[in-house]
Amino acid sequence: MSDIRYYISGHGLGHASRSCQIINTLRHRHPDLAVEVVSTAPGWFFSGFLDPKVPVRPLALDFGVLQHDSLIMREEETLIAYRRFLPERQRLVDAEAESLRNSGIRLVAADIPAAAFAAAREAGIFSVGISNFTWDWIYRGLAEAHPEYGDVLESLTGDYRQADLLLRLPFHDAKSDIPRVEDQPLVARISALPKDEIRRRLNLSSEARVGLISFGGFGLREFDPAALGQLDDWVFLTENSLPGAPANLRAIPSGRFAYPDLVKAADVVISKPGYGIVSECLANGTACLYTGRGDFREQALLVAGLHRFGRAREISNSDLRSGTWRAPLEALLQQAQPKETLASNGDAVIADRLAQLVVQAGGGRA
């Protein structure tokens, strides 16, 4: 029997990454508390990063934003898909509420499927959101060009208003539809190894210039890596084998190294602004060469955080896909270290708060 049921959006890997970090820390600091996960995030990710004693049940209570790849969103298709989901949503809420009542769950946590809060309220169980945004805020940005989808926003906002508490992460909008908010430190996976030791295990010299190509669960289409061969004074790492890859691009099989170790080993991460990779760059002191991902509302907040607390530089989508990287990489390496730092112990702070909420909730609403 579990004490906490933790719902995780399956969109990308950022929600799963920070949730795994929090759950693992919770299990370490409060081993008497049992946790179960409900998510459609990739099973291989949980197998590699989540405490194996935590069971995972696949169930889609949301689907984030539909995307062509990491950089191109399918905006109206996302709104259409959620509208089609609305009739099924109530059946899922009722079923989850019944499951929560029958399973003895004492606390519902969610990052950040809206319907999870409706199910918790129906079951009479205290619910807490853990995120820097809610999906209605993202969808409101999508709907600015498609105002006819007001029913979608109304459903999402109504569900979030049923949450009892939001443990709000950095890089957030000022407003929240969840009425009670407590701000938290950054949650990030941090390498425990020295940079030189990671490079030794990767057979890389300490003097090598190393870039980590990181485009998460959606990948990067229409990219020809051959141009990177011209940057023969650099070594580029990626978890995915790329056709036509030059000799200086090395594919590191997934699971062979902890991803935060790869981030720390690199001089620069080449990516798009997503919470997981932004937080890991900041926490591990690695510079970030980023490219825009369309009109995604979270992006501006993450970019501002990157420039304030880290070293960052933007590259256009066209330059990224063509491999025109030398000038921005060189300029990024010349940037001074940031003057401000951001606390990154959010996993421990949130784990302790969740443990406290379990005691306070006592199986019912606090």
* pLDDT at residue 218, rounded to an integer: 42
Q: Where are the beta strands (DSSP E) in the chain?
A: 4-8, 35-39, 56-57, 107-111, 127-131, 165-168, 181-183, 209-214, 234-238, 249-251, 268-271, 287-290, 312-314
Q: Across-strand partners of 306?
A: none
| 226 and 131 part of one domain | no
pLDDT (tens, 9 = 90+) of the chain, 366 residues, equals 899 999 999 877 889 999 999 999 999 999 999 999 999 998 988 998 999 999 999 998 887 776 655 556 677 888 888 899 899 999 999 999 999 999 999 999 999 999 999 999 999 999 999 999 998 988 887 888 788 888 988 999 999 999 999 999 999 987 888 999 999 999 999 999 999 999 999 999 999 999 999 986 545 666 778 889 999 999 999 987 777 789 999 988 877 899 999 999 999 999 988 888 999 999 999 999 999 876 677 888 999 999 999 999 999 989 998 889 999 999 999 999 999 999 999 999 999 999 999 998 864 433
**Residues 144 and 211 occupy one common structural domain:** no
Domain that holds residue 37: 4-187+345-361
Q: What residues contact residue 143 under an 8 Å CB cut-off, 6+ apart? A: 79, 149, 150, 152, 153
Q: 291 in a domain, yes or no?
A: yes
157 & 55 share domain? yes
Quote the distance between the C-alpha of residue 298 and its chain's center: 11
DSSP annotation of 52 reads T
Question: What's this model's pTM, rounded to 2 decimal places?
Answer: 0.91
On whether the CB atoms of residues 92 and 115 are closer than 8 A, the answer is: yes
In a domain, 228, yes or no: yes
Largest pairwise CA distance in the chain: 62
Helix (H, G, I), strand (E, B) or coil at 131: strand
Q: What pLDDT sits at residue 73?
A: 66
Burial class (CB within 10 angstroms; exposed 0-12, middle 13-18, buried 19+) of 52:
exposed
Give domain status of residue 338, yes or no.
Answer: no
Task: Specify whether 101 is located in the same domain as 240.
Answer: no
